[in-house]
Chains A and B, each alone.
Chain A
Amino acid sequence: MEDSIILKIDNVFKNFGGILALNGVSFAVEGNSITGLIGPNGSGKSTLFNVISGFYRKDSGEISFKGEKIERLEPYSIAMLGIGRTFQISEVPEKTTVLENLLLAPKRQCGEGVFNVFLNPVRIKREHENYLNNALDILELIQLRELKNEYAENLSGGQKKLLSLGRILMFEPELLLLDEPTAGVNPTLVKDLMVAIRNLRDQKGITILLVEHNMRVISEICERVVVLDFGQKIAEGTPEEIQRSEVVLEAYLSGSSKRGLLHEDS
């Protein structure tokens, strides 16, 4: 059904000084679904995320969100359209507590305006109470509540991943691009994460596109999977179809020998 497609990638190319990171990638993501994006290292997954979210500029092709072309917008404008993303290496501002990280996320906060700070203190306080409650709930969910006043930079890699997830949830996106959300997270928590991600789809109507290397996660929660290799889509289908695909197996097996030491992304 055409009108339920929330994200459409159409023949996107991206060249990095000679290296063709994205070589004509096309696929569509249906609204209110969980789609996986996999591929060997250097296949263009993170590049694609960066292009969709506006951090890189595509060379050619079209990307549409909810039917509208996203054209040459700054990353923050694309975010405000409703596309949230996490980063492969968690971004954590210095000297910011876990709680502060979450409170940073909500959009259009009254207290972010210079004049509002002085003219609208009541509303700011009200919003703050609201955000604080939401934040504490989310911290509970990702099991970081006890660390709420810790500086985020002191967290472990896995905890930072969780923090990134919690933060982007506070942002309340419609489309969520998750870059390796379970990397470094301990296995018992991964189960809870998978439940949480499914809940995002079911209860909040969020669409999720996730890059993952953990095949268990992919097969358990993704409805569809897109496979990239060398910047091209080599397969698309259900997790079962992908696991049985020879093309995909071939791509992963021949992996490290084909790739040089230098890979900008994965």
Chain B
Amino acid sequence: MGLVNFLVYLAIMMGIYGILSLSLNLQYGFTGLANFGHVAFFCLGAYTSTILVLVFKMPFVIGLLGAMVIAGLFGYVISIPTANLKEDYWAIATLAAAEVVRIFFLNEDWVVGGGPYQGGSFGIGGIPQPLRSLFSAYTYPFFYLAVVLLCLAATYVIINTLTQAPFGRVIKSIRSGDNLPQALGKDVRAFRMKVMAIGGSFGGLAGCLWAHYHGFISPNQFMPLETFIVWAMVIVGGKANNRGAIVGAVIIMVFYNSTRFLKDYIPIEEVTLASLRMVVIGVLIVVAMIFMKEGLIKEKKTLY
């Protein structure tokens, strides 16, 4: 891959993970929801859009909206039984939910209508890229990058507006405990469900963008490690700070992708390299939680 191509790829990944990071930050950073299953939204978004566009021949925009709706709906539904639970129960419940989603797509190839699309553990290939025919092979990635950045910008604006509004005030109070918001008449459970739905739908957006960029999706791409990478982004970048979330995405993506090339210079196996990358991610999370749990860019103080 040429340098320019690589940089465009990297930028696109930063954009997609930036959206994931912003959406997780809304849930964890602002509302205190320990969502260990964020990859579920990513996965649902990818599959929904793929099925709508590839199998049902819908336009890309419908695929994108469908991805957001389904993922958002899942966020809402999963929080119905869990919205009043303590954080540790929440964490394991979301973790388990994400695994079930992945297992579902692993087992069910009928979702894709069978036939030429395969599905199941084989994954689905040949996902069409939006407006591909309008561009040459060289310029298309730039167009896609523009699409991704536009989506990132929209995500940032929407989430930032929410967190700076009275809505954001309420969820921040919920973060520290239920007692005060309850005493002030706030329906804590409803707020948590909304945050899961909104965060979820943006996770779905990221999934859609991913699917149409890569052209191929399979359940293996949606392992829990994706969730953990996004957690590292939120923690390192800045808890409850939307710019921090994007910065975190940039940093972790740079780290993650730059280490790919080590293989060319050091005699090291792919598996070992991938594992060591994750060791660093794990250690980063631990170290950040001990020494720097607010991240690089701290939460902004609201001034009136």
Contact = CB atoms under 8 A, between A and B. Distances in A.
Interface of A: 53-55, 74-76, 79-80, 84-87, 91-97, 99-100, 103-105, 107-114, 117-118, 124, 128, 132, 148-149, 151, 167-168, 171
Contact of B165 (A54, A74, A96, A124): A124
A112 B302 contact: no
A97 B185 contact: no
Given A80-B185, A84-B183, A104-B184, A114 B301 contact: no
A93 B184 contact: no
A105 B182 CA distance: 11
28 contacts: A74-B187, A76-B181, A76-B184, A79-B183, A80-B185, A84-B183, A86-B183, A87-B183, A92-B180, A93-B172, A93-B173, A93-B180, A97-B302, A100-B169, A103-B169, A104-B166, A111-B165, A112-B165, A112-B166, A114-B162, A114-B167, A117-B162, A117-B167, A118-B158, A124-B165, A124-B166, A148-B304, A168-B183
A54 B184 CA distance: 12
Contacts of B243: none
Interface in B176-212: 176-177, 179-188, 194, 198
Interface residues of B, number: 31
B303 interface: yes
B167 A75 contact: no
B170 interface: yes
Given A100-B302, A118-B161, A124-B166, A95 B172 contact: yes
Contact of A75 (B173, B182, B198): B182
Given A55-B179, A79-B183, A92-B176, 4 more contacts: A75-B182, A93-B173, A97-B302, A111-B167
Contacts of A55: 179, 182
A167 B166 contact: no
A76 B186 contact: yes
Contact of B185 (A92, A93, A128, A171): A171
Contacts of A75: 179, 182-183
Contacts of B302: 97, 100
Contacts of B187: 74, 76
A114 B194 contact: yes
B99 interface: no
B51 interface: no
Contact of A104 (B170, B188, B194, B299): B170
A132 B188 CA distance: 24
Contacts of B185: 76, 79-80, 107-108, 171
Nearest to B189: A74
A76 B304 contact: no
A93 B176 contact: yes
A168 B183 CA distance: 9
B65 to A, nearest CB: 17
Interface string B151-171: 000000010011001110110
Interface string B282-304: 00000000000000000101111
A97 B301 contact: yes
A84 B182 CA distance: 10
Interface in B6-48: none
A76 B173 CA distance: 14
B175 interface: yes
A69 to B, nearest CB: 19
Nearest to A79: B185
B266 to A, nearest CB: 43
Interface in B55-97: none
B120 to A, nearest CB: 37
B112 interface: no
Nearest to A103: B169
Contacts of B183: 53, 75-76, 79, 84-87, 91, 168
Contacts of B182: 54-55, 74-76, 79
B240 interface: yes
Contacts of A151: 301
Which of B166, B187, B240 has its CB near the most chain A CB atoms (within 10 A)?
B166
B186 to A, nearest CB: 6
A95 B299 contact: yes
A168 B173 CA distance: 15
A180 to B, nearest CB: 15
A91 B167 CA distance: 19
Contacts of A167: 184
A96 B173 contact: yes
Nearest to A105: B184
A94 B179 contact: no
Contacts of B194: 114
Contacts of B165: 111-112, 117, 124
A75 to B, nearest CB: 4
3 closest A-B pairs (Cβ-Cβ)?
A111-B166, A75-B182, A93-B176
